[in-house]
Structure 1
Amino acid sequence: NCSLVTSEYSIKGKPAGAIGILGPTRMDYPRMISIAEYISDKLSEILSEF
């Protein structure tokens, strides 16, 4: 069994997509959610610069 943690990213405030982390059902959810949110926030910042 596996689980998916996702977080959306945006470009200049408009939704653009989502990233996901696929892992075991018993993964460390708080850590994975934090990582997914961090990556999507950084991706939004980078993509909004262009």
Structure 2
Amino acid sequence: MTAVELLVWWVALFALWIVLISTVDVLEVAVGSAAALVAAVAAHAARRAVRRR
């Protein structure tokens, strides 16, 4: 479940990044991918923290 949740978050956040940038090139894709991964991990951790309450 964790991997699926992270993948869903990553795809959604990466898609948002691609939609919001003006020029799609290799560097933007790499930065967007890394930023989406960091945000996906943070979102997963936040959901896990709320679930523990």
Please, what TM-score do these two structures have when normalized by structure 1?
0.53
State the superposition RMSD in angstroms.
2.5
May I ask how many residue pairs the two structures share in their alignment? 39
Output the amino acid matched with 1:35: A
Identity %: 3
User: Which ranges in structure 1 are unaligned for 5 or more consecutive residues?
Assistant: 1-9
Shift of 1:37: 0.3
More helix by share: 2
Please, what TM-score do these two structures have when normalized by structure 2?
0.51
Moved over 6 A (4+): none
User: Which ranges in structure 2 are unaligned for 5 or more consecutive residues?
Assistant: none
